[in-house]
């Protein structure tokens, strides 16, 4: 890891997640996923799938009692070869695998939904992709066209049209209803609620920020402690190595946002609150002028 | 007050209200003579209070806790160091509260009733005195907060009183973008006057006076304020029952509106699932449609005018989001700026206390032209 330099990129990834989620209970529209009957069942689920060698790991899953939407969220607008690979994997999830997954997450108790899965709709959302770009990609840039054509074969592509409309820009959904609805689009929030603060790659800065958002914020009246094991349980969706958690603890400690009480534990007190709340800025400041970093070096 | 705890030993809530109304009851002749309001005559006041803890029987102790808490603001500590609070239990739901200020040799009394959904403080003491005693008890105990109604809700509630008409009002206007801080006071209002004040000056009501008829004559004069305060100024002999019902209805309506607007019903906590985790439900409050169309420096204005208050600590997330810690209520909430509008998101520790208090500060002192709307996402199986 490169000492905080990657935070601006992590933040863009997190912003993309939260932008997408702002189309779920869409405050500015009565056409959000929730209004359409979908429930956000999980952040970062793991779906064991017999058609792929390893588990399939979308960013979010949504379910309405019949259809399971598996969505992958990307910052920027650049269609990468690995996106095509991801789309292919999402598209390969079988009904059996989907039902097995749905069984684990108590959709009956939480939402009163049956555990049946009749269809699966994978989709990719790019936070900075619009119809102009898709048109140029398709008609003018040959490399881009190749990726796009391959991608849309597996998975419909959504982007941000205008300032803040989540819209279908390429490819097709199996369901005509979903197709019509996403062609019309969903108004997202101008300033999305900060719901997710973790990156898919579980980078140290994003772990540190997430620790503040969940445990730090609980220290409103009394000290709150959190240890490595509890964190690994909370973020059990990906293999969170103990060493990374400890690095995140070190980072928070360096920034004065907690006390390091034991080797594998930190303590937040109400006195830490100004730093806990300002952790994003503190980490941004630390990463200095990394805005100029080259995006591509990370892919 | 003329009532002693022993007088109401076996009373229920309505009986207590009726007893207190007898202190403001007037003969028909007196009612005719009393054409203008605001004389220093006795009136019956009701403070409608949301409480996060059952404090009845423990007011004195709760006050001493504040007095000894180094982290509490000085004004609150000083207050509880200089008053003596005594409380006498009348029955399970009713206590008699006495706040004595030795320096002035004064004792103010209020009857405190647990009405189920709110705590009532009923008293006939003079408002000027109450401001230094009972009101401060409510203000400085962190477990208590008066309910609050945005102007539109206040107007709805007051217009809902049967057989009544609006007889006067106080309407206010303040905004960051105009150098104007105006208060309109209107007595002897006629139909449409309030709408005129709203249209002509963008002033929104914070207090509404009403006259209520008990056929055929005006029998009850009272008012309601947006800070959870209602008053019966005079009641014609024979109309006491109707007046009691009116006061009880106002309270019920106020609590209903306040709950509707500020209560966090959603379960905003993190859920751990075997594969992955999630937050299932959300509560947001939008302060929307202000008068101004642009607010390029809204973040700085909020920092200077609101978030700099002692009760708050805050941090920023990106350009347009603040995370705010309300030290007094010990809660954290999220505040997003969307052009001219503000959106509050409840986080795990957030309740109505910090949300209401923030909205109230915005409407009372920052920009009175915002409207308030709550949005909730509930996903539980019905």
Cα–Cα distance for residue pair B319/B337, rounded to 1 Å: 9
Give the total residue count for chain A. Answer: 299
Kindly list the distances between the CA atom of residue B208 and the CA atoms of A192, A297, B88, B352, in Å, as whole numbers in the listed order.
Answer: 37, 65, 34, 24
- What is the pLDDT, as a whole number, of residue A183? 97
- What is the pLDDT, as a whole number, of residue A121? 97
Give B142's contacts in chain A (Cβ within 8 Å).
Answer: none
Cross-chain residue pair B330–A220, CB shorter than 8 Å: yes
Strand order in the sheet with B312-317: B312-317, B321-326, B331-338, B341-346, B282-288, B371-377
Residues B298 and B203 in one domain: no
Q: Which residue has the tokens 């080259």?
A: A294
Does residue B42 fall inside a structural domain? yes
Residues B165 and B226 in one domain: yes
Residues B162 and B25 in one domain: yes
Closest-CA residue of chain A to B333: A217
For chain B, give the percent of residues with pLDDT over 70. Answer: 97
pTM (whole model) above 0.80:
yes
Cross-chain residue pair B282–A25, CB shorter than 8 Å: yes
Q: What is the DSSP string of A2-35?
A: -TTTTHHHHHHHHHHHHHHHTTSS-TT-S-STTT
- Please say whether the beta carbons of B95 and B57 come within 8 A: yes
- Please say whether the beta carbons of B354 and B368 come within 8 A: no
ipTM: 0.92
Cα–Cα distance for residue pair A169/A145, rounded to 1 Å: 14
Q: How confident is the model at residue A297 (pLDDT cuts 50, 70, 90)?
A: very low
Task: Find, among A65, A298, A31, A71, the residue nearest to A196 by Cα.
Answer: A71
Cα–Cα distance for residue pair B367/B361, rounded to 1 Å: 9
Nearest beta carbon to residue A277 from set B323, B336, B343: B323
Taking residues B264-271, report their average pLDDT: 89
- Please say whether the beta carbons of A280 and A209 come within 8 A: yes
Of A1-15, A59-73, A104-118, which range is least confident? Answer: A1-15
Task: Find, among B52, B49, B133, B50, the residue nearest to B85 by Cα.
Answer: B133
Cross-chain residue pair B347–A217, CB shorter than 8 Å: yes
Cross-chain residue pair B277–A235, CB shorter than 8 Å: yes
Residues B253 and B326 in one domain: no
List, in sequence order, the alpha helices (H) in B55-192: 59-68, 74-82, 127-130, 134-140, 151-159
Residues B226 and B140 in one domain: yes
Which distant-in-sequence residues (6+ apart) come within 8 Å of B340 by Cβ? B290, B292, B293, B294, B295, B298
Q: Per residue in A172-229, pLDDT tens? A: 999 999 999 999 999 999 999 999 999 988 899 999 999 999 999 999 999 999 999 8
Checking if the pLDDT of B368 tops 60, the result is yes
Residues B70 and B161 in one domain: yes
Cα–Cα distance for residue pair B211/B45, rounded to 1 Å: 16
Task: Find, among B190, B160, B169, the residue nearest to B250 by Cα.
Answer: B160
**Which residues of A, range 108-167, sit inside 8 Å of B by Cβ?**
108-113
Does residue B265 fall inside a structural domain? no
Q: Per residue in A229-278, pLDDT tens? A: 888 888 766 778 889 999 999 999 999 999 999 889 999 999 999 999 99
Of A61-65, A168-172, B5-9, which range is least confident? Answer: B5-9
Residues in B lying within 8 Å of A, measured between beta carbons: 270, 272-280, 282, 284, 286, 313-318, 320-321, 323-325, 327, 330-332, 334, 336-339, 343, 345, 347-349, 375, 377, 379-382
Q: How confident is the model at residue B271 (pLDDT cuts 50, 70, 90)?
A: confident
Estimate the crossing angle of helix A279-286 against helix A7-21, to 10 degrees. 140
Residues B187 and B276 in one domain: no
Residues B218 and B287 in one domain: no
Give the DSSP letter of residue A53: S
Cross-chain residue pair B336–A193, CB shorter than 8 Å: yes
Nearest beta carbon to residue B349 from set A111, A218, A236: A218
**Helices and strands, counts by H and E, chain A:** 12, 10
B138: containing domain: 1-260
For chain B, give the percent of residues with pLDDT over 90. Answer: 78
Cα–Cα distance for residue pair B365/B175, rounded to 1 Å: 8
Q: Which residue has the tokens 């409407």?
A: B363
Residues B69 and B165 in one domain: yes
Task: Find, among B120, B100, B129, the residue nearest to B55 by Cα.
Answer: B120
Kindly list the distances between the CA atom of residue B109 and the CA atoms of B119, B137, B183, in Å, as whole numbers in the listed order.
Answer: 15, 12, 31
User: Average pLDDT, whole number, for chain A?
Assistant: 91
Q: Per residue in B277-297, pLDDT tens? A: 888 899 999 999 999 999 999
* Dihedral angle computed from the Cα positions of residues B211, B215, B219 and B223, in that order, rounded to the nearest 10 degrees: -30
Closest-CA residue of chain A to B282: A25
Give the CATH number, domain containing residue B289: 3.30.310
Checking if the pLDDT of B324 tops 90, the result is yes
- What is the pLDDT, as a whole number, of residue B33? 64
The tally of domains found in chain B comes to 2
Domain spans of chain A?
23-187, 204-298
Cα–Cα distance for residue pair A91/B376, rounded to 1 Å: 33
Checking if the pLDDT of B276 tops 80, the result is no
Does residue B382 fall inside a structural domain? no
Of B260, B286, B308, which one is at a domain's C-terminal end? B260
Q: Per residue in B199-251, pLDDT tens? A: 999 999 999 999 999 887 889 999 999 999 999 999 999 999 999 999 999 99
Three-class secondary structure assignment of A174-232: CCHHHHHHHHHCEECCCCCCCCCCCCCCCCHHHHHHHHHHHCHHHCCCCCEEEEHHHHH
Checking if the pLDDT of B152 tops 60, the result is yes
Of B260, B278, B299, which one is at a domain's C-terminal end? B260
Give A226's contacts in chain B (Cβ within 8 Å).
Answer: none
My answer on whether omega of the bond before B216 falls inside 30° of 0, hence cis, is yes
Task: Find, among B73, B140, B326, the residue nearest to A220 by Cα.
Answer: B326
Cross-chain residue pair A191–B338, CB shorter than 8 Å: yes
Nearest beta carbon to residue A45 from set B275, B282, B377: B275
**Which residues of A, range 213-252, sit inside 8 Å of B by Cβ?**
214, 217-218, 220-221, 233-237
Kindly list the distances between the CA atom of residue A161 and the CA atoms of A128, A130, A183, A193, A233, in Å, as whole numbers in the listed order.
Answer: 9, 5, 11, 20, 38
Of B231, B260, B289, which one is at a domain's C-terminal end? B260
Q: Which residue has the tokens 């080797």?
A: A263
Query: Which residues partner with B335 through β-bridges?
Result: B322, B344
For chain A, give the percent of residues with pLDDT over 90. Answer: 78
- What is the pLDDT, as a whole number, of residue A237? 63
B303 three-state secondary structure:
helix
Q: Per residue in B328-339, pLDDT tens? A: 999 999 999 999
Cα–Cα distance for residue pair B111/B114, rounded to 1 Å: 10
Number of Cβ pairs < 8 A linking chain A and chain B: 134
Q: What does the radius of gyration of chain A's CA atoms come to, in whole angstroms?
A: 20
Give the DSSP letter of residue B281: -
Cross-chain residue pair B275–A234, CB shorter than 8 Å: no
- What is the pLDDT, as a whole number, of residue B44? 96
Task: Find, among B110, B118, B95, the residue nearest to B9 by Cα.
Answer: B95
Q: β-strands B164-174, B144-146: how paired?
A: unpaired
Angle A174-A176-A177 (CA atoms, 0-180°, nearest 5)? 120
- What is the pLDDT, as a whole number, of residue A180? 96
- Please say whether the beta carbons of A90 and A46 come within 8 A: no
Cα–Cα distance for residue pair A143/B326, rounded to 1 Å: 53
Residues B199 and B245 in one domain: yes
Cα–Cα distance for residue pair B170/B105, rounded to 1 Å: 33
CATH class of A204-298: mainly alpha
Checking if the pLDDT of A2 tops 50, the result is no
Q: How confident is the model at residue A293 (pLDDT cuts 50, 70, 90)?
A: very low
Angle A118-A122-A124 (CA atoms, 0-180°, nearest 5)? 160
């Amino acid at each position: 890891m490169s000492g905080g330099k990657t935070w601006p990129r992590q933040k863009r990834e997190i912003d993309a997640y939260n932008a997408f989620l702002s189309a779920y209970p869409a405050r500015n529209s009565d056409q959000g996923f929730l209004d359409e009957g979908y429930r956000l069942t999980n952040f970062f689920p793991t779906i064991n799938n017999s058609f792929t060698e390893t588990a399939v790991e979308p960013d979010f899953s949504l379910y309405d009692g019949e259809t399971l939407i598996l969505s992958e969220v990307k910052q920027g607008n650049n269609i990468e070869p690995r996106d095509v690979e991801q789309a292919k994997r999402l598209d390969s999830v079988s009904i059996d695998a989907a039902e097995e997954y749905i069984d684990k997450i108590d959709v009956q108790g939480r939402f009163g939904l049956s555990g049946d899965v009749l269809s699966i709709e994978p989709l990719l959302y790019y936070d900075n992709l619009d119809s102009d770009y898709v048109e140029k990609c398709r008609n003018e840039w040959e490399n881009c066209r190749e990726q796009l054509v391959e991608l849309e074969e597996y998975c419909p592509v959504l982007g941000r049209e205008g300032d803040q409309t989540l819209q279908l820009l390429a490819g097709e959904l199996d369901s005509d209803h979903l197709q019509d609805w996403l062609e019309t689009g969903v108004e997202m929030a101008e300033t999305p609620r900060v719901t997710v603060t973790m990156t898919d790659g579980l980078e140290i800065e994003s772990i540190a920020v997430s620790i503040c958002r969940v445990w730090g914020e609980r220290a409103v009246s009394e000290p709150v402690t959190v240890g490595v094991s509890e964190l690994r349980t909370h973020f059990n969706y990906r293999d969170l190595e103990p060493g990374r958690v400890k690095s995140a603890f070190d980072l928070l400690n360096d920034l004065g946002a907690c006390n390091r009480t034991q080797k594998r534990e930190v303590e937040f007190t109400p006195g830490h609150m100004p730093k806990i709340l300002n952790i994003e800025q503190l980490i941004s400041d630390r990463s200095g002028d990394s805005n100029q970093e080259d995006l591509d070096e990370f892919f | 007050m003329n009532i002693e705890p022993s007088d109401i030993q076996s009373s229920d809530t309505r009986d207590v209200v009726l007893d207190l109304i007898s202190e403001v009851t007037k003969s028909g002749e007196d009612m005719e003579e009393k054409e203008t309001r605001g004389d220093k005559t006795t009136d019956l006041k009701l403070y409608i209070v949301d409480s996060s803890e059952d404090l009845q029987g423990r007011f004195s102790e709760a006050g001493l806790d504040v007095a000894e808490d180094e982290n509490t603001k000085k004004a609150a500590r000083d207050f509880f160091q200089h008053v003596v609070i005594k409380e006498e239990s009348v029955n399970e739901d009713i206590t008699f509260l006495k706040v004595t200020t030795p320096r002035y040799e004064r004792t103010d009394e209020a009857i405190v009733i647990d009405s189920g959904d709110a705590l009532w403080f009923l008293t006939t003491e003079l408002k000027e005195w109450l401001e230094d005693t009972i009101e401060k008890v409510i203000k400085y105990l962190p477990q208590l907060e008066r309910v609050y109604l945005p102007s539109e809700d206040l107007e709805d509630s007051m217009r809902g009183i049967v057989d009544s008409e609006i007889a006067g009002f106080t309407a206010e206007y303040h905004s960051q973008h105009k150098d104007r801080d105006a208060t309109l006071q209107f007595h002897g209002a006629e139909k449409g006057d309030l709408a005129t004040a709203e249209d002509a000056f963008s002033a929104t009501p914070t207090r509404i006076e009403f006259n209520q008829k008990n056929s055929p004559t005006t029998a009850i004069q009272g008012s309601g304020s947006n800070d959870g305060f209602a008053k019966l100024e005079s009641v014609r002999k024979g109309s006491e029952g109707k007046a009691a019902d009116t006061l009880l209805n106002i309270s019920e309506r106020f609590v209903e509106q306040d709950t509707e607007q500020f209560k966090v019903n959603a379960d905003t906590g993190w859920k751990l699932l075997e594969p992955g985790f999630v937050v299932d439900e959300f509560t947001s409050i939008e302060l929307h449609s202000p008068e101004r169309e642009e607010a390029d420096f809204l973040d700085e204005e909020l920092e200077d005018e609101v978030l700099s208050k002692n009760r708050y600590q805050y941090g920023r997330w990106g350009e347009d989001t603040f995370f705010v810690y309300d030290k007094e209520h010990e809660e954290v909430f999220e505040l997003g700026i969307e052009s001219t509008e503000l959106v509050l998101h409840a986080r795990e520790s957030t309740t109505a206390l910090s949300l209401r208090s923030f909205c109230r500060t915005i409407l009372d002192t920052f920009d009175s032209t915002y409207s308030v709307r709550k949005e909730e996402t509930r996903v539980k199986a019905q």
